[in-house]
Structure 1
């Protein structure tokens, strides 16, 4: 078994996926395995992988479409390494991603998660900084200079106030990831749920802002945005925050429970989506967004 797996759940744009694969193969540290789980039907894709001729690359095509959550779960199940990345099929690694993360893990051998330095790019690959990412960085992300180890209720409070993490960039301790996996009942908020589950098990996270090693692609319209206009993602969010708040209370993490019930970033996001839903004539979605934005589950 190798020490590092890049797992790539794929569906969508062929060119962007190929760029993502090339960014993995360009790593300065060549000791890794790349596993691509193809949930699509694009005819040219299997042949392209066969022509790569790199025995570090393992390609599988699902017999039938599994959808986002099931394909993510399959990536976790098929991972084998000590450490795992589940990167987006349109994201890009800097060449020194793996080299940098290995150095962080050497300094923090017990860390269950590593959030490395990230820059955001648009659909054309240009560095961008919109409202969502500025809000993450300025209001919700911990102010870290260099590297910092976080865990427990402190980190739970932080991510439940506002999920400032860039999930596809995170390196996970493989054993911990495989012991938990993604929950079946979430399709949009599953990344936050996974992190909180691991924190409850005592896992720690290293946040590193010293070096940018990952390029996170944010498109103008994404699947999550489509669901946001209809209100779907916020119905799921309300269900998650209510359940996790009760769990935090039972654990004695009262500050985390309060953060979950107030979920300020999620409410602000719903507020920003409200004009778009009204413009698209999605009145039912607008009602869901308004309820989520202006009502919290906080108890006095």
Structure 2
């Protein structure tokens, strides 16, 4: 039997309500040379019945004898995959019809790229378009501070998959982030600058229901990356990077620690050239401007931190700092204007 061009792994656990749309969106792709491997992680709802309603011969259904979790189910599906490319799909999302064709054609045209994702449009709890960096150099740097991939949009070469697969035992719910970092350390990665998936937001998602566990795994991934560039790192430096990753305003943001860490990252990278220095410097300046002007609660402290690290200065930092300084005077200014 000739192997398919793309193997799609869709893991499901008690998602009967959303499963028909998810499976239908894969089976209705313009790229038809595919297999859809549905891994049922021991669902106790009607998911198996929903799956068996589909009679498409491209479907391969397997059911775990015991609950393996998402990472374990993905690993099982990956082991069964026969395609040149491996695509991931979640059981509550919707792939747009051109998704697989666009990604497979991109990987065909860029043999040096190991993996590609895409932008997504959220629906359900709220609607927005999430645009991720697209170029390999930018993605390599962004992976140091965030996870610039939406996992259900990822397609990667079978040859580029990490030995051992997704490591839940070590990284917990951040297993996918850890894997993308590993892949990017070996070869260029990319995102296509277009929406190829509709990403459902609802209360039952892992990212919502088990956020603390996911952040614990994220901390391990960030530590590993910091150590690769800096060598030994302190818990305070790791706390600072976690604050940047989460990007939630706090009454006492670790601004000084973030500035120190960013300056150290900048110096170390100029020595080791692990990342493109211009790209890393620009991203650090962008993040620093946001943290200082949007998170620092006092205007005086904002200016103190802004001038403390000249290497992190940017026009955006100066502009936003001035705007924030003048904001309290805006009502007075408008009141003084002649009618």
Range into which the TM-score falls when normalised by the shorter chain: 0.7 to 0.9
* Residues 1:196 and 2:181 aligned together: yes
**1:261, distance to aligned residue in structure 2 (A):** 6.5
- Aligned mates of 1:237, 1:88 — CA distance in 2: 20
Q: Which moved more, 1:31-40 or 1:176-185?
A: 176-185
Aligned twin of 1:128: 127
* Residues 1:213 and 2:204 aligned together: no
Structure 1 vs Structure 2 CA RMSD: 3.2
Kept after mapping to 1: 8 A contact 2:114/2:156: yes
Kept after mapping to 1: 8 A contact 2:42/2:63: yes
Unaligned runs of 5+ in 1: 143-147, 251-257, 275-289
Aligned twin of 1:235: 216
Aligned twin of 2:228: 247
State the TM-score, normalized to the length of structure 1: 0.73
Query: 1:193-247 deviations in whole A, cap 9, x for unaligned?
Result: 111111222x2123221x322111222453232333xx33333322332223212
Aligned twin of 2:11: 9
Alignment of 1:46-65 (within 5 A): 46-65=48-67
Q: Which moved more, 1:22-31 or 1:76-85?
A: 76-85
Kept after mapping to 1: 8 A contact 2:8/2:87: yes
One of 194, 205, 214 as aligned partner of 1:222: 205
Unaligned runs of 5+ in 2: 232-236, 265-339
State the TM-score, normalized to the length of structure 2: 0.66
**1:260, distance to aligned residue in structure 2 (A):** 10
With over 3 angstroms needed to count, the CA separation of the structure-2 counterparts of 1:213 and 1:223, relative to structure 1, is closer
Aligned twin of 1:262: 241
- Aligned mates of 2:179, 2:155 — CA distance in 1: 13
Aligned twin of 2:308: none
With over 3 angstroms needed to count, the CA separation of the structure-2 counterparts of 1:97 and 1:239, relative to structure 1, is closer
Aligned twin of 2:111: 109
With over 3 angstroms needed to count, the CA separation of the structure-2 counterparts of 1:260 and 1:180, relative to structure 1, is farther
Which structure is larger by alpha-carbon Rg, 1 or 2?
2
Report 1 or 2 for greater relative contact order, CA contacts < 8 Å, sequence distance ≥ 6: 1
SS at match of 1:188: helix
One of 142, 147, 153 as aligned partner of 1:169: 153
SS at match of 2:127: coil
- Aligned mates of 1:175, 1:207 — CA distance in 2: 19
**1:24, distance to aligned residue in structure 2 (A):** 0.6
Query: 1:81-131 deviations in whole A, cap 9, x for unaligned?
Result: 1111111110111111122223322321332111223211226xxx702xx
Alignment of 1:37-116 (within 5 A): 37-42=39-44, 44-116=46-118
Aligned twin of 1:157: 141
- Aligned mates of 2:119, 2:170 — CA distance in 1: 30
